[in-house]
Chain A
Amino acid sequence: MNAIAQPINPARLVARQQKVLQDADWVRWGLVAIAVGFITLFICVPLGLVIFQAFSKGIAAYWSALSQPDTLSAIKLTLLTALVTVPLNTVFGVAAAWAITRFEFKGKSLLTTLIDLPFSVSPVISGLIFVLLFGAQGWFGEWLSAHDVKIIFAVPGIILATLFITFPFVARQLIPLMQEMGNQEEEAALSLGASGWRTFWSVTIPNIKWALLYGVLLCNARAMGEFGAVSVVSGHIRGLTNTLPLHVEVSYNDYDVVGAFAGASILAGLAIVTLILKTALEWRQANR
């Protein structure tokens, strides 16, 4: 199986070009123009609009929108959610990749497919299932209300829905890479007497670190940006259970355009900065 978003080391991109047969100039520039045009239309223009709207009333308005108590608490909740979900899904991703790529067992295809499943489940359904499970009329509803445990319409529900949505990201990054790598290096280390842990830390991790980092970044971006599923389980209480994406929608519906896009600009900015940072790190590492 292959992955979406398999990591690319840009340094390898450069090395690559020298080997490849060159296409005619007009083909090259034509294709570059199409690609750049497409990305500009579908990604740069929307991004530009977010930034333009966020600053449409000046920097002061932008800052005051961001320093609203409701915005701050939305940012806090979003960070908390990412802080819980990303490490959990990272540990899971590494464990699942290890089990799937280092061992043969029955039902491996099925397991891989199940891991992918949250990718293609509609966000509406992702939220609904947790309501069916923990809602007052759900499976555990009575028990939860008898013990005064709040899951849905509170922080745990938001975290659970986000866990579900971002479940496959790290695993999907690692599985194809570790599959391709094979396990000769690890076997060598083990046969030389290294312990399992030691082999993992000093052989496996250095080999997969970029893919792992990339998976974590994507997982984090999605955890912070998820809207649909979280919207179902949040309850939309201002200042309490609104994550940043929900706060954006609320502000927009309050006719607070600057507030809405200021929130959106943070999410977009965070994602782009981390991705550019990661690309830059890889270049330095590769050129060293």
Chain B
Amino acid sequence: MNNKFTNIVFAAVLAVLAASEGRAADINLLNVSYDPTRELYKEYNAAFAKYWKAKTGDNVTVNQSHGGGGKQARAVLEGLEADVVTLAIAFDIDQLYQKRKLIPEKWQSSLPNNSSPYTSTIVFVVRKGNLQHIKDWNDIVKPGVSVVTPNPKTSGGARWNYLAAWVYALKHNNNDEAAATAFVGQLFKNAAVLDTGARGSTTSFVEREIGDVLITWENEAYLVLREFGADKFEIVTPSLSILTEPPVTVVEDVARKHGTTEVATEYLKYLYSKEGQDIIGKNFYRPTDPEIAAKYAKQFQPLELVKIDQFGGWDVAQKKHFSDDGVFDQIYGAGK
């Protein structure tokens, strides 16, 4: 009897809920991301909401938080309840496992292509006319060239910048690390401003009119041209650069708590679909799907791309270059 009563109450509650919410469930996801993906995810979130509505009838709202990669990962560690994280470097996502086991150890193998649905690389932006005749990495270490890049200590993008220069220097100096250190050191001696994030650097270069060359993400460079005019800036693609693989993952611990594991996983998987890949290409990231990549191939200049694996992955690179008293600190400490 009691059971029956409970059932009736339960059904009534459900009916009220269904009536008030129009049957479709409202789902909220939080995507914690790095700085230059603002435009990409703005477009992608709308597309995914439409796709998910058509597929399940549920309304998905994806909330966004953007900031420097290290800051964002720390926020998630300290309790920012992100269902998914989409950061600039695997090292930062890896901390979610290392420090709090919010994600499984092998998180990077849960999605195709090392969990990177899009890739990009590091290129230069110069002012129209390219007065300094900058063509490649060896041109920007020349004395008198003023360089704008974020600080590798606070920006994931800047770590890619640094490593791209490092790879180039190694290749042109027969893998001599001392020579590469000197090369990268020269580059950072030319730095006029070290902003804390990639967006800050873009602003310094574009709005503050500081520097001759901005080292930045390829996608950010094309966005500069779109936002501020191709008549004011030019993109220079170096002969060799690093293949940047910004990874994505579901923060399983949080998603389980929110009951959003399924939709969060689908949210990331949809990035690999034709539609997702198309939005990625439109926003100047390099799609990983061969077909869509071919479609957008002509918008990018060809160049030789080196993978982070050549350094033994992020853990090794981080320790060697960016930890306290690592190579980066030595560069600035050397002259003092």
Whether A and B touch (Cβ < 8 Å) is answered with yes
A residues with CB within 8 A of B: 131, 134-138, 141, 144-145, 150, 152-153, 235-240, 250, 252-255
Cβ–Cβ contact B66 & A240, under 8 A: no
Q: Tell me the minimal C-beta distance from B29 to chain A in angstroms.
A: 11
The interface residues of chain A lying within 8 Å CB-to-CB of B77 are: 135-137
Cβ–Cβ contact B79 & A135, under 8 A: yes
The residue of chain A having its C-beta at the shortest distance from the C-beta of B228 within the complex is: A255
Cβ–Cβ contact A153 & B63, under 8 A: no
A141 to B203, CA, bound (A): 37
Cβ–Cβ contact A250 & B66, under 8 A: yes
Cβ–Cβ contact B203 & A253, under 8 A: yes
Q: Does B209 contact A (CB under 8 A)?
A: no
Q: Tell me the minimal C-beta distance from B223 to chain A in angstroms.
A: 9
B residues with CB within 8 A of A: 30, 35, 38, 63-67, 75, 77-81, 99-100, 199-200, 203, 227
Beyond contacts A141-B78, A237-B63, A255-B227: 17 other A-B pairs, Cβ-Cβ < 8 A, are A134-B79, A135-B77, A136-B77, A136-B100, A141-B79, A152-B78, A153-B75, A153-B79, A235-B65, A235-B80, A236-B75, A237-B64, A237-B65, A238-B64, A253-B199, A253-B203, A254-B38
Cβ–Cβ contact B79 & A253, under 8 A: no
The interface residues of chain B lying within 8 Å CB-to-CB of A134 are: 79
Cβ–Cβ contact A153 & B64, under 8 A: no
Q: Which of B30, B64, B78 touches A131 (beta carbons < 8 Å)? A: B78
Cβ–Cβ contact A253 & B65, under 8 A: no
A161 to B66, CA, bound (A): 21
The interface residues of chain A lying within 8 Å CB-to-CB of B99 are: 137
A239 to B65, CA, bound (A): 10
The interface residues of chain B lying within 8 Å CB-to-CB of A253 are: 35, 38, 66, 199-200, 203
A–B Cβ pairs within 8 angstroms, 5 of them: A135-B78, A136-B100, A137-B99, A137-B100, A237-B65
The residue of chain B having its C-beta at the shortest distance from the C-beta of A136 within the complex is: B79
Cβ–Cβ contact A153 & B80, under 8 A: yes
Q: Tell me the minimal C-beta distance from B197 to chain A in angstroms.
A: 8
The residue of chain A having its C-beta at the shortest distance from the C-beta of B198 within the complex is: A253
The residue of chain A having its C-beta at the shortest distance from the C-beta of B197 within the complex is: A253
Q: Tell me the minimal C-beta distance from B84 to chain A in angstroms.
A: 13
The interface residues of chain B lying within 8 Å CB-to-CB of A153 are: 75, 78-81
Given A253-B203, A254-B38, is A152 in contact with B79 using a C-beta cutoff of 8 Å?
A: yes
A141 to B99, CA, bound (A): 14
A103 to B14, CA, bound (A): 62
The interface residues of chain A lying within 8 Å CB-to-CB of B67 are: 236
Cβ–Cβ contact A150 & B79, under 8 A: yes
The interface residues of chain A lying within 8 Å CB-to-CB of B35 are: 253
The interface residues of chain B lying within 8 Å CB-to-CB of A136 are: 77-79, 100
A145 to B38, CA, bound (A): 29
Q: Tell me the minimal C-beta distance from A61 to chain B in angstroms.
A: 16
The residue of chain B having its C-beta at the shortest distance from the C-beta of A141 within the complex is: B79
Q: Tell me the minimal C-beta distance from B92 to chain A in angstroms.
A: 16
The interface residues of chain B lying within 8 Å CB-to-CB of A145 are: 79
The residue of chain B having its C-beta at the shortest distance from the C-beta of A153 within the complex is: B80
The residue of chain A having its C-beta at the shortest distance from the C-beta of B206 within the complex is: A255
Tell which of A137, A153, A254 has the most Cβ of chain B within 10 Å.
Answer: A153
Tell which of A136, A238, A254 has the most Cβ of chain B within 10 Å.
Answer: A136
The interface residues of chain A lying within 8 Å CB-to-CB of B81 are: 150, 153
A137 to B67, CA, bound (A): 21
A144 to B78, CA, bound (A): 12
Q: Tell me the minimal C-beta distance from B157 to chain A in angstroms.
A: 13
A239 to B42, CA, bound (A): 13
Cβ–Cβ contact B227 & A137, under 8 A: no
A177 to B75, CA, bound (A): 43
Q: Tell me the minimal C-beta distance from A161 to chain B in angstroms.
A: 14
A145 to B256, CA, bound (A): 14
Q: Tell me the minimal C-beta distance from B28 to chain A in angstroms.
A: 9
Tell which of B35, B80, B203 has the most Cβ of chain A within 10 Å.
Answer: B80
The interface residues of chain B lying within 8 Å CB-to-CB of A138 are: 78
The interface residues of chain A lying within 8 Å CB-to-CB of B80 are: 152-153, 235
Tell which of B75, B79, B199 has the most Cβ of chain A within 10 Å.
Answer: B79
Given A137-B100, A253-B203, is A238 in contact with B78 using a C-beta cutoff of 8 Å?
A: no
The interface residues of chain B lying within 8 Å CB-to-CB of A252 are: 203
A152 to B63, CA, bound (A): 17
The interface residues of chain B lying within 8 Å CB-to-CB of A255 are: 227
Cβ–Cβ contact B30 & A237, under 8 A: yes
The interface residues of chain A lying within 8 Å CB-to-CB of B30 are: 237
The interface residues of chain A lying within 8 Å CB-to-CB of B79 are: 134-136, 141, 144-145, 150, 152-153
The interface residues of chain A lying within 8 Å CB-to-CB of B78 are: 131, 135-138, 141, 152-153
Cβ–Cβ contact A239 & B63, under 8 A: yes
The interface residues of chain B lying within 8 Å CB-to-CB of A235 are: 65, 75, 80
A250 to B63, CA, bound (A): 14
A240 to B61, CA, bound (A): 12
A134 to B75, CA, bound (A): 12
Nearest first, the 8 A-B pairs at minimum CB distance are: A135-B78, A136-B79, A153-B80, A253-B199, A235-B80, A236-B65, A237-B65, A237-B63
The interface residues of chain A lying within 8 Å CB-to-CB of B66 are: 236, 250, 253
Q: Tell me the minimal C-beta distance from B32 to chain A in angstroms.
A: 8
Cβ–Cβ contact B65 & A238, under 8 A: yes
Q: Tell me the minimal C-beta distance from A151 to chain B in angstroms.
A: 8
The interface residues of chain B lying within 8 Å CB-to-CB of A144 are: 79
The interface residues of chain A lying within 8 Å CB-to-CB of B100 are: 136-137
A236 to B199, CA, bound (A): 15
Given A138-B78, A150-B79, A152-B78, is A240 in contact with B63 using a C-beta cutoff of 8 Å?
A: yes
A235 to B254, CA, bound (A): 15
A272 to B284, CA, bound (A): 44
Q: Tell me the minimal C-beta distance from B132 to chain A in angstroms.
A: 25
